[in-house]
A and B are shown apart, each in its own frame.
Chain A
Amino acid sequence: MELTNSILLAVILINFFTLGSARLGACVRIVAVQGALLALLPIMVHGVTLHSTLLAAGAFCFKGVIIPWMLLRAIQRVRIRREMEPIVGFVPTLILGTLTTAGTFLFADFLPLISAHHEGLYVPTALATIFSGFLLLITRRKAITLVLGYLILENGIFIFGVLLSEALPLMVETGVLLDLLVGVFVMGIVMDQISREFSTLNTERLSALKE
């Protein structure tokens, strides 16, 4: 229990890091670390079974290795190092992130959960991670940061999924990971197209495409 809680606290700290950091490479790496940490959760919660081991291995591969590696490659290809001009500044984002995290801790108490889930940090962490991902999506301009935001969002959903992985079949989990993979592919193509068409990765230019 102690270990689980410290992992979840680490996840929250990583959320804050991504919200406050401008360096894309560091952000990708730290999100990879977050994915790897989360991969430990199924084993922590359900013990060492075939199901939980498979889940952990899959999560580690996708969240910890493959997707970060693809993102790092993308960064090298389009030669971007920093998120230069976010829509909302880094400090305000960080403050907002803190507020939403505190909010989720308060909010989780009101949720009609079973008693086993009321203790521990699972639900508030999951919500905080989801909202951090959203915050990243809203406040950043670069397509790569947006992909990171999606990743963090998926991590939040994964924490929820861990709680339910016994109630829900493996297929759902796989579905989540596949969703993510498809998302990354789509974003990769989009990024490629954006940088080819507009010579930049700022999604702001996309508004020129609206009707």
Chain B
Amino acid sequence: MTLLGGGLLLIMLAGVPGLFCRSDEHGGERFAALLTLVGAVCIGAAIVSATRGSGELSHTFAWSVPGASLAFYLDPLAICFLLPLLIIVATGAIYGLRYWPHREHPANGRKLRLFYGLISGAMILLLLARNGVLFLMAWEVMAISGYFLITTEDHQAEVRRAGFIYLIATHTGTLALFALFVLLGPSTGSLDFPAAGTLAATGSSLIFLLGLFGFGMKAGLMPLHIWLPGAHAAAPSHASALLSGVMIKTGIYGLVRLTSLFAEIPAWWGWTVLLLGAVSGIMGVALALAQHDIKRLLAYHSVENIGIIALGLGIALLGRSYDQPALIVLGLSGCLLHVVNHGLFKALLFLSAGSVIHAVGSRQIDHYGGLLKLQPWTGAMFLGGAVAICGLPPLNGFVSEWLIYLGSFQALKQPGSALAAAVLAAPVLALIGGLALACFVKVFGIAFLGEPRTTAAAQAHEAPVAMLAPMVTLLVACTWIGLLPTTLHTLLQKAVGTWAGTVVAGVATGSVAPLRWISLSAWLLLLLVVVLFAVVRWRSRTAPRELGTWGCGYRFPAVRMQYTASSFADFLIRLFAFGLNSEEHGRQVAGLFPLRQTFSSHTPDAVLDRILVPAFRAGSWLCRRLRAWFHNGSIARYLLYVIVTVIVLLTLFTP
């Protein structure tokens, strides 16, 4: 507990010493990174010692706040979320040393480091909290620190807008959580979390819906994802990595924890989560395909991956409703493993995207091109992350998606039952995977292959070691899970046991999911790739190298003849025209010697820009009209309101 608490404080307050340093010098950035590292190591050691022992760690201290107690509890479920958190926080802190050095950003460097530490500490606290008040406090600190991370560059109007939308969204979600914990309270007597599997499900529909709204808002499930693309695009890259890799997972954690409290689960809970997951997954990746801003694109991929995680959770919930231990084990293992995986590879992608942005100075994919020659390491890291996020073996994304595939096929073992419909999760997952692959072919092809499209891209430089080392660490972690998934087997099994109780006692993950075979085939595949690569390199050693990549038979190819981000994805975006409604500006060329034409396409968010903004605009117009009518400056009218109020009150309160 000393290790845990000490590490928590070190991480949380890492940015505080920097506040006492001069704003135009290093700002205590190295000290902050050191404190974060030490804190992460402390907590890691605490986790290891806890897993060596009983696997759980519990401490409760009294607290003078009514209904609250400082109840900390470390169980395998929380460890599943803590492990990626620690890795991402530590790597992000090191990456930030060169990505956002204090000398180059004296205006906001100290603020960024302070809130980076605060949000990391708050998330750790949140994962450990077993009391409603403590949880909500950590939740709010996390939400507010997230706001300040997003608005790091608050001199830009776009960043302020993203921050504002995030603030509205997160507080709407928190409102639902307040109601949730108040409703959860009376059944347990105090605001401490009840023990797993003790609550009756009857009459808990409202609790579940509130949780789905509040936690779903943070996780970014599809209709509630409105804040996510803008916020991830606005924050500095290592903060985006933290927000996307870890913070949105706290929403998933909340849902998993909440559902673990109930003794039985109504079937419609699982179906709802499954449906939301499918919508998030497909629409998220479709919207990602249509983006031209690399960080917005990655943000929409977060929506997609949250959808995949929700699919896994939905399958596990259905398994509990229909009493299918195999479904629970596969679904929840896939869900939790994908939480870990997505945290790792999304952080890797954001960090490598940040390295590109750092070198080129733009977030538009169409401003890049040919970066693989100039930034070979960054390119390799991005490729690794892309392979992982597309769910391709031998990296980690494949393992968790494979578990969810297996889970959805398990549903078929109950012929004649409604559960069989859950098998539809498999084609949904396949569609998501295929579209994600197309999307990352687009990004990698446009950004790293071809010829530089701008002079800035032509003068790009490789990232410094302090930025590369964190990426390499993350890639190693991704590869580790991809090649040796059996190492996480015990942890996942314990976590599933915590969630589902004794129902799954007899079913081991290993018995329903061939993790060993996955591992073996991953090694073989890796070997094959390495051999093929070596052969190709060896055979092409004599080939001429001065040819342009996108020759296409043209005599004088120009840089502008390359595929652009919008033209590459055009075919797929047209398929999803019903949900995307891309706007196209510009005309087609006509005639033999056409004049100069421009073309651009833009895809606004399906929910925020198409529904919410017009709806709120209409609402505010209506309210303005109403106010102008009510509040018109005529004293006689105001007095009339008084008398009408008096009359109404008199008639209402006269028996």
Which positions in A face B, CB cutoff 8 Å? 87, 107, 110-112, 131, 134, 137-141, 146, 203-204, 206-210
Contact A134/B654 with A206-B633, A207-B633, A207-B634 known, Cβ cut-off 8 Å: no
A134: chain B residues within 8 A (beta carbon): 639, 642-643
Minimum distance in angstroms from A71 CB to a CB of chain B: 18
A204 pairs with B634, CB closer than 8 A: yes
B654: chain A residues within 8 A (beta carbon): 107, 110-112
B636 pairs with A210, CB closer than 8 A: no
Contact of B635 among A107, A112, A203 (CB under 8 A): A203
Minimum distance in angstroms from A64 CB to a CB of chain B: 25
A209: chain B residues within 8 A (beta carbon): 633
A87 pairs with B636, CB closer than 8 A: yes
Contact A131/B643 with A111-B654, A112-B655 known, Cβ cut-off 8 Å: yes
Label chain B's interface by main secondary structure: helix
In the complex, residue of chain A having the shortest beta-carbon distance to the beta carbon of B654: A110
- Besides the known contacts A107-B650, A137-B639, A206-B635, 15 further A-B residue pairs in the complex with CB atoms under 8 A apart: A87-B636, A107-B654, A110-B655, A111-B654, A137-B636, A138-B637, A138-B640, A139-B636, A146-B635, A203-B635, A207-B634, A208-B633, A209-B633, A210-B631, A210-B632
A137: chain B residues within 8 A (beta carbon): 635-636, 639
B655: chain A residues within 8 A (beta carbon): 110, 112
Give CA–CA (A134, B642) in the complex, Å: 9
Minimum distance in angstroms from B637 CB to a CB of chain A: 8
Give CA–CA (A111, B639) in the complex, Å: 24
B636: chain A residues within 8 A (beta carbon): 87, 137-141, 203
In the complex, residue of chain A having the shortest beta-carbon distance to the beta carbon of B655: A112
A112: chain B residues within 8 A (beta carbon): 654-655
Can you list 7 A-B contacts with CB-CB less than 8 angstroms, sorted by A residue number?
A: A137-B636, A138-B636, A138-B637, A203-B636, A206-B635, A209-B633, A210-B631
Minimum distance in angstroms from A109 CB to a CB of chain B: 11
Minimum distance in angstroms from A189 CB to a CB of chain B: 16
Give CA–CA (A97, B471) in the complex, Å: 83
B640: chain A residues within 8 A (beta carbon): 138
Label chain A's interface by main secondary structure: helix
Minimum distance in angstroms from B431 CB to a CB of chain A: 54
Minimum distance in angstroms from B633 CB to a CB of chain A: 3
A138 pairs with B631, CB closer than 8 A: no
Give CA–CA (A208, B634) in the complex, Å: 9
Minimum distance in angstroms from A156 CB to a CB of chain B: 12
The interface centre, meaning the residue of A112, A138, A209, A210 with most chain B CB atoms within 10 A of its CB, is A138
Minimum distance in angstroms from A87 CB to a CB of chain B: 6
Give CA–CA (A84, B655) in the complex, Å: 43
In the complex, residue of chain B having the shortest beta-carbon distance to the beta carbon of A203: B635
In the complex, residue of chain A having the shortest beta-carbon distance to the beta carbon of B634: A207
Give CA–CA (A110, B650) in the complex, Å: 11
B637: chain A residues within 8 A (beta carbon): 138
Give CA–CA (A18, B556) in the complex, Å: 97
Give CA–CA (A131, B631) in the complex, Å: 23
Ranked 6 nearest A-B pairs via Cβ: A207-B633, A210-B633, A134-B643, A137-B639, A138-B636, A138-B640
Chain B 622-655 interface 0/1 with A at a Cβ cutoff of 8 Å (1 = within): 0000000001111111011011000000100011
B643 pairs with A138, CB closer than 8 A: yes
A140: chain B residues within 8 A (beta carbon): 636
In the complex, residue of chain A having the shortest beta-carbon distance to the beta carbon of B643: A134
In the complex, residue of chain B having the shortest beta-carbon distance to the beta carbon of A205: B633
A111: chain B residues within 8 A (beta carbon): 654
In the complex, residue of chain B having the shortest beta-carbon distance to the beta carbon of A88: B636
B631: chain A residues within 8 A (beta carbon): 210
Give CA–CA (A204, B635) in the complex, Å: 8
In the complex, residue of chain B having the shortest beta-carbon distance to the beta carbon of A86: B636
In the complex, residue of chain A having the shortest beta-carbon distance to the beta carbon of B632: A207
The interface centre, meaning the residue of B631, B633, B640 with most chain A CB atoms within 10 A of its CB, is B633
Give CA–CA (A209, B636) in the complex, Å: 15
Give CA–CA (A131, B655) in the complex, Å: 21
In the complex, residue of chain A having the shortest beta-carbon distance to the beta carbon of B650: A107
In the complex, residue of chain B having the shortest beta-carbon distance to the beta carbon of A112: B655
Give CA–CA (A211, B495) in the complex, Å: 60
In the complex, residue of chain A having the shortest beta-carbon distance to the beta carbon of B642: A134
Minimum distance in angstroms from A144 CB to a CB of chain B: 13
Minimum distance in angstroms from A161 CB to a CB of chain B: 17
Contact of A138 among B632, B633, B639, B650 (CB under 8 A): B639
A141: chain B residues within 8 A (beta carbon): 636
In the complex, residue of chain B having the shortest beta-carbon distance to the beta carbon of A127: B650
A204: chain B residues within 8 A (beta carbon): 634
Give CA–CA (A87, B650) in the complex, Å: 26
A203: chain B residues within 8 A (beta carbon): 635-636
Minimum distance in angstroms from B226 CB to a CB of chain A: 32
Give CA–CA (A138, B631) in the complex, Å: 15
In the complex, residue of chain B having the shortest beta-carbon distance to the beta carbon of A139: B636
Give CA–CA (A146, B639) in the complex, Å: 11
Give CA–CA (A111, B655) in the complex, Å: 8
B634: chain A residues within 8 A (beta carbon): 204, 207
Give CA–CA (A209, B634) in the complex, Å: 10
Give CA–CA (A209, B655) in the complex, Å: 42
Give CA–CA (A106, B137) in the complex, Å: 57
Minimum distance in angstroms from B379 CB to a CB of chain A: 58
In the complex, residue of chain B having the shortest beta-carbon distance to the beta carbon of A146: B635
Minimum distance in angstroms from B584 CB to a CB of chain A: 43
B632: chain A residues within 8 A (beta carbon): 207, 210
Give CA–CA (A207, B640) in the complex, Å: 16
A110: chain B residues within 8 A (beta carbon): 654-655
Minimum distance in angstroms from A93 CB to a CB of chain B: 12
Give CA–CA (A153, B128) in the complex, Å: 64
Give CA–CA (A134, B635) in the complex, Å: 12
A207: chain B residues within 8 A (beta carbon): 632-634
B642: chain A residues within 8 A (beta carbon): 134
In the complex, residue of chain A having the shortest beta-carbon distance to the beta carbon of B627: A211
Minimum distance in angstroms from A183 CB to a CB of chain B: 14
A138: chain B residues within 8 A (beta carbon): 636-637, 639-640, 643
Give CA–CA (A170, B630) in the complex, Å: 39
Give CA–CA (A140, B634) in the complex, Å: 11
A87: chain B residues within 8 A (beta carbon): 636
In the complex, residue of chain B having the shortest beta-carbon distance to the beta carbon of A137: B639
Give CA–CA (A111, B654) in the complex, Å: 6
